[in-house]
Amino acid sequence: MKNHIDDIFKKLKPQIYDDFRSIVNINSFSSNMDGIEKVSSKLVEIGEKLDIPLKRVYSSKKTRPHLMYGQDKEKDYFAFIGHFDTVHSLLSDFQTMEEAGDLLKGPGTNDMKSGLIVSLYSFYILKKLYPNRDLPFKVFFNSDEELGSIDSQEIIENQFKGALGAFIFEPGRPNGEIVTQRKGIAGLNIEIIGKPAHSGVEPWEGTNSILAACEIIQKLEALNDYEKGIIVGCNEINGGVARNVVPAYTKIVVDVRFATTTQQKQLFKDIKNILNSKTSVGAEIKYDLYVNRPPLEKTKESERLANLYMKTAKELGINCEEIATGGGSDGNFLSAIGIPVVDGVGAVGNNSHTKKEFIYKESLIYRIKIFVLFMSKLLNKKFKE
């Protein structure tokens, strides 16, 4: 099989890089709807060429297009997940792909247009290797991952309940690590309402909301336990109107992260306890605590898939470890509905979300090789059943 794969690659290599460049060079900032449409069309075109008919799909809100293949598949399939939006706006001067030594630099090269190419070409090569089979794959690329998948979350949760496993083609970490755990993310907005007063004439008549905020922040920050994976970051604060006015209003924005659902329950309890008890200055406290993404947790089955992936990489002479990370992805939603998830199986690079974003050119090829060989092991087992 290995020689056969090498032959296929030799022929495909230029086409793989051309297709990659063509999607990187279309700006698809999440809010640039014109670019989102254009890159959708380009991906549909690439899909057609590879005989993977991607269809535009919409959520119930019908606000933006996403792409799917295999919509009719209900169970016993593997899910290939990615996103084609980026964080790079049209105003940025970082718009096109450039080659620099062994790197390919450009907006969305790492996060995660390279991953889209890895998934589509892996699928295509697997079709060549199993010409008489209907491969059990379902593909979904969304256009709003960088916005927290606010529109596409319902599609992910409704369409992928029957997956045997989900592979997220987000980039591997800088040393090629795959991601087997991601923290859950919650947001917390706190409003503290005090009472204004002239701070020179009768400050004792006021209620200082900034002072109350300081007390609350101290208590919230004490919940941090980095070793266990708990992060409570009071990262934004706004309050007060002038030097000589006792501040009647202060707002705090808090980033909350946790490794497991069990941790989340306890943490939410602790946060609510703090916010439901009085501060020494007696200001009124209002808050909104909401889950943005549930945690991506490791399960027995996800561990089995991850181990097989890493073992396959080693067989190809490529070292590959696993890692837990604080950032979220769509893998979090799939994990929360009970699907085993292996994340970070895209290309390998670094500096996502900055103008220094890149992938290692060769990783686009060898990550396809790993995935193809890995998936063929899963398919061989499945077809024997």
Q: Nearest approach, Cβ of 329 to Zn ion (angstroms)?
A: 6
How far apart are alpha carbons 345 and 186 in whole angstroms?
25
CB closest to Zn ion, residue no: 111
Q: Nearest approach, Cβ of 10 to Zn ion (angstroms)?
A: 30
Q: Nearest approach, Cβ of 82 to Zn ion (angstroms)?
A: 8
Would you say 110 or 122 has its CB closer to Zn ion?
110
How far apart are alpha carbons 107 and 50 in whole angstroms?
24
Would you say 353 or 377 has its CB closer to Zn ion?
353
Would you say 143 or 263 has its CB closer to Zn ion?
143
Would you say 248 or 345 has its CB closer to Zn ion?
345
Applying the rule CB under 5 A, the residues between 33 and 92 that interact with Zn ion are none
Question: What is the number of other CB atoms lying within 10 angstroms of the CB of residue 165?
Answer: 18
Would you say 103 or 116 has its CB closer to Zn ion?
116
Q: Nearest approach, Cβ of 246 to Zn ion (angstroms)?
A: 45
DSSP string, 254-320: EEEEESSHHHHHHHHHHHHHHHHSPPTT--EEEEEEEEEE--B---HHHHHHHHHHHHHHHHTT---
Would you say 86 or 264 has its CB closer to Zn ion?
86
Centroid of chain to Cα 275: 30
Would you say 179 or 230 has its CB closer to Zn ion?
179
DSSP string, 190-215: EEEE-B--BTTT-GGGSB-HHHHHHH
Instruction: Give the number of residues in contact with Zn ion, rule: CB under 5 A.
Output: 3
Would you say 84 or 371 has its CB closer to Zn ion?
84
Amino acid at 293: R
Tokens of residue 345, six digits: 């199986």
Q: Is 297 in the site for Zn ion (CB under 5 A)?
A: no
Q: Nearest approach, Cβ of 346 to Zn ion (angstroms)?
A: 9
Question: What is the number of other CB atoms lying within 10 angstroms of the CB of residue 201?
Answer: 9
Applying the rule CB under 5 A, the residues between 165 and 194 that interact with Zn ion are 170
* Residue window 133-172: x/- pattern of binding to Zn ion, with contact defined by CB under 5 A: -------------------------------------x--
Give the residue ranges of DSSP H helices in 50-161: 114-129, 153-159
Q: At residue 24, what are phi and psi to the nearest 5 degrees?
A: -65, -35
* Residue window 99-128: x/- pattern of binding to Zn ion, with contact defined by CB under 5 A: ------------xx----------------
- 349 DSSP β-pair partners: 359
DSSP string, 228-259: GTBEEEEEEEEE-S-TTB---EEEEEEEEEES
Q: Nearest approach, Cβ of 317 to Zn ion (angstroms)?
A: 28
How far apart are alpha carbons 140 and 359 in whole angstroms?
22
Q: Nearest approach, Cβ of 177 to Zn ion (angstroms)?
A: 15
> Which residue ranges make up the site for Zn ion (CB under 5 A)?
111-112, 170
